[in-house]
A = this chain, B = another copy of it.
């Protein structure tokens, strides 16, 4: 009874481990019954026989300026992936490559949802001891924001929390420097006033819980943290950098002496769930909210598991009509 289901376009050339690990992730998805369209250089995809491919002669590098790269490299895997979504060849797109260029291709080729001022990057933040992560947005798309955009981020974040994590009435906090109303920059003070309005909370079934602080990113009593893309990106990287530094130092300690090694092996089974929660591979990719088609970005360091997670999330969100749900909530 199912109509023909479109595939998820996967940028085979994006990421530190492209194309081999990306292709492995795509193969995992196909094995799990998810249709995939691999987009990449003919040389990289020459051995692929069991997955549909789309050729692109160019690759946008991690360090390239997004706007320039997308304009000049018309036959890049990223631009071709976005075109596949635009042209109805694919349901959704994912890339582990240049995040800015992914945003630029998606924005230029797929376009934004009507009424959305600016798309935002929504990144999952692990919450220790809870299955579902929090969502931080904008985590880097818009270095400068207006208070109205922050309200749209809150709306989109609420819909995303419901669609992706089944969060019933998402609790939404505004990232500031002090919990009391009136704390923070002029942007935050104005956004606070707008977010206090009940209209949008009704529309997206979210609940504004007021200002939250940097230390609340992993707070289990919050579901969505709203901020501008500059603050969000700094906060995200501070959190990731801290986690990585501590985990790295722990691993060093675990192999520092025979006693430490023995202790570590005794602890290993109990440590695994914590390690899993903190592992970027398990948390999965970020989404570009506000694009008229599900577009996900994975960590540059993504391995097959992370790519598989991103593909299956993009697929499920598309099938579940996430973009339509966003369209219903965004005021035109």
Residues of A at under 8 Å CB distance from B?
63, 128-129, 140, 143-144, 175-177, 180, 184-186, 188, 213-219, 227, 229-231, 233-250, 253-254, 256-257, 259-260, 262-267, 269-271, 274, 278
Contact = CB atoms under 8 A, between A and B. Distances in A.
A144 B247 CA distance: 34
Nearest to A230: B185
A242 B125 CA distance: 11
A188 B231 CA distance: 12
B249 A274 contact: yes
A243 B236 CA distance: 14
Contact of A231 (B234, B247, B254, B259): B234
Nearest to A240: B215
Contacts of A175: 234
Copies in the complex: 2
A254 B267 contact: yes
A180 B227 CA distance: 23
Contacts of A219: 241
A169 to B, nearest CB: 24
Contact of A214 (B234, B247, B250, B264): B234
B274 A253 contact: yes
A165 to B, nearest CB: 19
Contacts of A270: 253, 256-257, 259-260
A304 to B, nearest CB: 24
B263 A177 contact: no
Given A229-B177, A264-B267, A241 B216 contact: yes
Contacts of A235: 214, 234-235, 238
Contacts of A215: 237-238, 240-241, 244
Given A128-B245, A177-B234, A231-B234, 7 more contacts: A128-B248, A216-B241, A231-B231, A235-B238, A238-B238, A264-B267, A266-B266
A94 to B, nearest CB: 22
A265 B263 contact: yes
A242 B136 CA distance: 15
A137 B218 CA distance: 24
B177 A140 contact: yes
Given A215-B244, A236-B214, A260 B267 contact: yes
Contacts of A248: 128
Chain B CB within 10 Å, residue with most, of A236, A250, A266: A266
A243 B250 CA distance: 12
